[in-house]
Chains A and B, each alone.
Chain A
Amino acid sequence: MPITTIETIEVKSVRIIDERGEADESLMPPFKEDDFRRFFEAIILSRTFNQRALSLQREGRIGTYASIWGQEASQIGSALAFNNDDWLFPTFRESGVFVAKGYPMWMLYRYWAGDERGMQIPPEFNLFPMSVPVGTQIPHATGAAWAMKLKGHKKVAAVYFGDGGSSKGDFYEGLNFAGVNKVPAIFICQNNQWAISMPRSRQTAAKTIAQKAAAFGFEGVQVDGNDIAAVYKVTKDAVDKARGGGGPTLIECFTYRLDDHTTADDASRYRTDEEVEAWKAKEPLVRLRLYMEKRGWWTKEYEEAYAKKAQELVDSEIKKAEGYTPPDPADIIKYTYAELTPRQMRELKEFGWQS
C-alpha cells in the first residue's frame, strides 16, 4: 500500500504595510483617515507612557519596569479589534494594551511603583490583572472563553504571551483545552525574538510558533507584528470567527523587543547593537508614519502637536499617581479572604494595623 499523507500544516503570514510604507490595499480593512490617526496617536501615547516609565525608574520613583518599545503595533492593533465587553488577559509587558483600552495611566504607574491598588481593575474594564509568571495566564483565558460558551454569551477572551511563554506547559494545556472544547479564545503570541537572553531560535525548533496550533486542531497565523493594520485585520478575523462559534485561533505577532528585558537587565550582554538598529528601522511608528505620509495624512506639525499633548497627558497622570496617600498596611491582610478569619483579626491588632 502506498504510504499516504494524511495531514499537512499550512501557515500563513500576513502583512499589509511593508517596511517602506507601501500597502497592499486589497488586504486593507475599511479604515478611514481617522482610524489611522487613532492608531498613530495610540502608538505615540503608549510610547510616551513607556518612556516616562523608564525615566521614573531611573529616578527611583517606580520599581523594575518592562518596556514595550517596538511592540506597540502588536499590542494596540490587536487590542482595538476587541469589543469592550470581550475579556483580555495580559502579561507584565502589555502597557500598550492597557493604554489603548483607556486604562487609567496613573493606576498603571501606581502598580509599577509597587502598589496593588494599581491593579484594582475598575469594573468598566474587562482586563485581568497583569500576570507575572510567564504563560500562566493562558489557561485562564481558555477558562473564561469556555464559560462564555457555556453561558451562551457572544463574547471572546484573548490572552497575550511571548515566545518564551509558548515553551511553558500552560501553553500546551491551555490551547489543547481550548481546541478540544472549541471555545471562543484568541491566543496572541508576541514573538519579540527574545526571552530575557534566550533568542527565539533556542526557544523551539519549530519554524514558527503559529504552526503549533495545528497540534491542537485549530488555525495558527503569523502576522508582521510591526504592521498595525495587519495585526488589526488578523485579530479582527479571529475575533469574528470565535464570536461566530468557529473556535480558537493562535496569532503569532512577529515583532521585536527594542529595549532590555526590564530596567534591571542589560541586553548588550547577549545581543548586538547591529541587530537592534536593524529592527529600529522597521519599528511600528516608522512604518505607519511612512504610510500615512504617502496618503497625505501626516505632517510634522501634526505629530509634534500630538506628541506634546501626549506628554502633558502622561505627566498629569504621573502627578496623579504620586499625589496619593500611601497604601494601608492593613490591606496586606484584609484582602486575603472575603471575610477576616479570627486569626487575621488578631493579627491586625498584633501588627498595629487596625484601621
Chain B
Amino acid sequence: MAKLNLVQAINQALAQEMEADADVIIIGEDVAKDGGVFRVTQGLLEKFGPERVIDTPLAELGIIGTAVGLAAYGMKPVAEIQFMGFIYAGIEQLFSHASRIRTRSRGRFSCPMVVRTPYGIGIKPPELHSESSEALFCQMPGIKVVIPSNPYSAKGLLISAIRDPDPVIFLEASRLYRSIKSDVPDEAYSIPLGKAAIYQEGGEITVVSWGTMLHRAAEASEDFDCEIIDLQTLRPFDEEAVINSVKKTGRLVIVHEAPRMLGFGAEVAALIAEEAFEYLKAPVVRVTAPDAVVPMARLEDHYMPSQERIKKAFEKVMQY
C-alpha cells in the first residue's frame, strides 16, 4: 500500500498490465522518451522498451485509426491523446469504426482498445486544453466512458478498462493529477466498469457527480445531509445506484463541469424522471457550466460550477 497521486496510480496500472499481458502497448505523442506531457507514462519506455511504448507522429486520427487496426489484430493498444481538445480529429475513427466493428462483424472482430486523455478545466492552460465533452462519447453506442475521481479508483478502473474487450475512453482530470492522493494497494486490482461508488451515505439529497466536480460538490455539501455518488463510469452508468439513492432521499442534484445542454446530467435527470418519479420530493437540479465554449484562463473560475452555485442548488431542493 502506498499513498499515490493520480499520475502515479495510472502509471502503476499501466506498468502492471503491461507486465501481465505482452499484447498491451502504449502509443501516443511524447509518451516514450518524454514520459508523457503530464509524466503519466514516465519510466515505462525504460522498463518495456520501444516496441511497447511508442512515440507516434503528431496525428490523432492516425493514432486512433492505427489503434483500431492493432486491436483488431489482437493487440491491446492504450492510446494517449495528449488533451481531450485534440481528440476531435480522431472522432471519425472512434464513431465510425471503433464503436461499431463488433456489431458490424457480428462478433468476428472487436476493438479492445483504451483511449486515455487528460480532460477538464482548472489548470489555466492555453485554449483547447480544458475540454469536458464526455457526453459526446456517451452518445455513441459501442463505446465505454470512464472518469475516475481519485487515485485508488483510477488504478482499478484503468486495469478494468485495459482488460475490457470493447473500446473505452478513459478521461483523466488534469486538475486532479497531482492534487489528490489516496492509499493505493500495491497489487493489481480491478474495479468493475459500470458501477458507481458511494462517496458518502446520506439521507436528504442525492448528489451525482464525477471527476473534479465530485470533490467540489463534496466540499459544498458540508452543511447538508448528502448522499454523494461518484458515477466512475458514465457509459454504461450505474442506474440502480442512483435510483436507490433517490428512493431514499427524494432529491437529486447533479454536478458537472460540462455545459448544461445535453451534458451527461441530462441523461441522469431523464432516467430518474422516468424511473423514480414518485420518490421525488423536489425538482432535479443540474449545476453545470453555462451553455458556452470554455473560456481562457482569466474567466475560467466563473465558468466552472462554484461552491456557491452548488450550495444554492442544495438549498433549492431542500426547500421541498
User: What residues make up the interface of A, taking CB atoms closer than 8 Å to B?
Assistant: 63-64, 92, 111, 113-116, 132-136, 164-165, 167-170, 195-198, 202-204, 265, 269-270, 326-327, 329, 331-333, 336, 343-344, 347, 351, 353
Contact = CB atoms under 8 A, between A and B. Distances in A.
B127 interface: yes
Interface residues of B, number: 37
Given A115-B296, A327-B298, A332-B303, A343 B291 contact: yes
A170 B92 CA distance: 13
28 contacts: A63-B125, A64-B124, A113-B297, A114-B296, A114-B297, A115-B296, A116-B295, A133-B85, A133-B128, A135-B58, A167-B57, A169-B59, A169-B61, A169-B62, A195-B58, A196-B30, A196-B37, A197-B33, A198-B55, A265-B37, A269-B34, A270-B34, A327-B299, A332-B302, A344-B292, A347-B291, A351-B302, A353-B302
B58 A332 contact: no
Contacts of B89: 133, 136, 168-170
Given A114-B297, A116-B299, A332-B302, 20 more contacts: A63-B125, A63-B126, A115-B298, A116-B295, A116-B296, A134-B86, A167-B57, A168-B60, A169-B62, A170-B89, A195-B29, A196-B34, A197-B33, A198-B55, A202-B55, A327-B299, A331-B295, A336-B291, A336-B293, A351-B302
A254 B303 CA distance: 42
A326 B292 CA distance: 19
Nearest to B85: A133
B298 A114 contact: yes
Nearest to B31: A197
Interface in B203-230: none
Given A327-B299, A329-B302, A164 B58 contact: yes
Given A63-B124, A332-B295, A347-B291, A167 B59 contact: yes
Contacts of B29: 195-196, 198
A134 B297 contact: no
B270 interface: no
Interface in B38-73: 55, 57-62
Given A63-B125, A132-B126, A202-B57, A114 B300 contact: yes
Contacts of B55: 197-198, 202
A113 B296 CA distance: 9
B85 A344 contact: no
B218 to A, nearest CB: 22
Interface in B2-58: 29-30, 33-35, 37, 55, 57-58
B299 A332 contact: yes
A73 B125 CA distance: 28
Nearest to A167: B57
B283 interface: no
B101 to A, nearest CB: 20
A332 B61 contact: no
Nearest to B90: A169
Nearest to B306: A351
B299 A344 contact: no
Contact of B292 (A135, A136, A269, A336): A336
- Across the A-B interface, give the 7 residue pairs with the lowest CB-CB distance, nearest first: A114-B297, A197-B34, A167-B57, A164-B58, A329-B302, A114-B296, A114-B298
A186 B192 CA distance: 52
Interface of B: 29-30, 33-35, 37, 55, 57-62, 85-86, 88-89, 124-129, 260-261, 290-293, 295-300, 302-303
A270 B33 contact: yes
B302 A132 contact: no
Contacts of B60: 168
A168 B29 CA distance: 12
Nearest to B295: A332
Contacts of B126: 63-64, 92, 132
A332 to B, nearest CB: 5
A343 B290 CA distance: 10
Which residue, A115, A135, A169, A170, has most C-beta atoms of chain B within 10 A?
A169
Contacts of A169: 59, 61-62, 89
A315 to B, nearest CB: 22
A333 B34 CA distance: 38
Contact of B57 (A92, A198, A326, A347): A198
A332 B128 contact: no
Contact of A168 (B61, B129, B297): B61
B85 A132 contact: yes
Contact of A333 (B86, B291, B296): B291
Contacts of B88: 133
Given A167-B59, A197-B55, A203-B58, A64 B37 contact: no
B259 to A, nearest CB: 10
Given A133-B86, A168-B89, A204-B57, A347 B290 contact: yes
A114 B58 contact: no
Given A196-B34, A343-B261, A168 B295 contact: no
B290 A332 contact: yes
Contacts of A326: 298
A227 B303 CA distance: 45
Contacts of B59: 167-169
A347 B303 CA distance: 12
Contacts of A63: 124-126, 297
A232 B215 CA distance: 54
A1 B23 CA distance: 48
A26 to B, nearest CB: 38
Contacts of B292: 332-333, 336, 344
A167 B62 contact: yes
A67 B167 CA distance: 38
